[in-house]
């Protein structure tokens, strides 16, 4: 039973692949079609396209590095108890609340980029 199922599966798979090949090779290709097909499937051409895209992204990155940058960061921490400090005599004083908020903004502008401009 398994052998018969395997044979049917193989014949069916070959039949589908033969039909696909027959559909592709029914009409002869023109020179333009064959060149387009070869260029579309060529790994060398694909690698060259990727290299062009990489160079474009590097150029954009270099241009972006010449501009100023703005960064912001926000954190929130909920403590179990309010923060306290204790003196050597054992007297404690609360210094903060249970909720701690922290927000920073950073602005930076490159000053010297002459060495980096060769990539632009």
69: nearest Cα among 95, 24, 107, 22: 107
Provide the percentage of residues in the chain whose pLDDT is more than 70: 66
- State the average pLDDT over residues 67-90: 82
- State the average pLDDT over residues 43-72: 90
The tokens for 12 are 């069916």
Its pTM stands at 0.41
Give dist(CA 68, CA 108) in Å, integer: 6
Give dist(CA 14, CA 22) in Å, integer: 12
Residue 64 above 90 pLDDT? no
113: nearest Cα among 62, 38, 45, 53: 62
pLDDT the model gives residue 24: 58
71: nearest Cα among 22, 33, 106: 106
């Amino acid at each position: 039973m398994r052998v018969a199922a395997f044979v049917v599966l193989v014949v069916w798979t070959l039949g589908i692949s033969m039909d696909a090949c027959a559909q592709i090779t029914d009409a002869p290709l023109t020179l333009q079609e064959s060149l387009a097909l070869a260029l579309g499937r060529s790994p060398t051409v694909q690698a060259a396209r990727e290299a062009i895209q990489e160079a474009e992204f590097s150029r954009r990155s270099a241009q972006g590095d010449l501009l100023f940058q703005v960064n912001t960061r926000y954190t929130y921490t909920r403590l179990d108890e309010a923060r306290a400090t204790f003196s050597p005599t054992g007297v404690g004083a609360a210094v903060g609340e249970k909720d701690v908020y922290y927000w920073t903004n950073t602005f930076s502008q490159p000053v010297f980029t002459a060495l980096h401009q060769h990539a632009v």
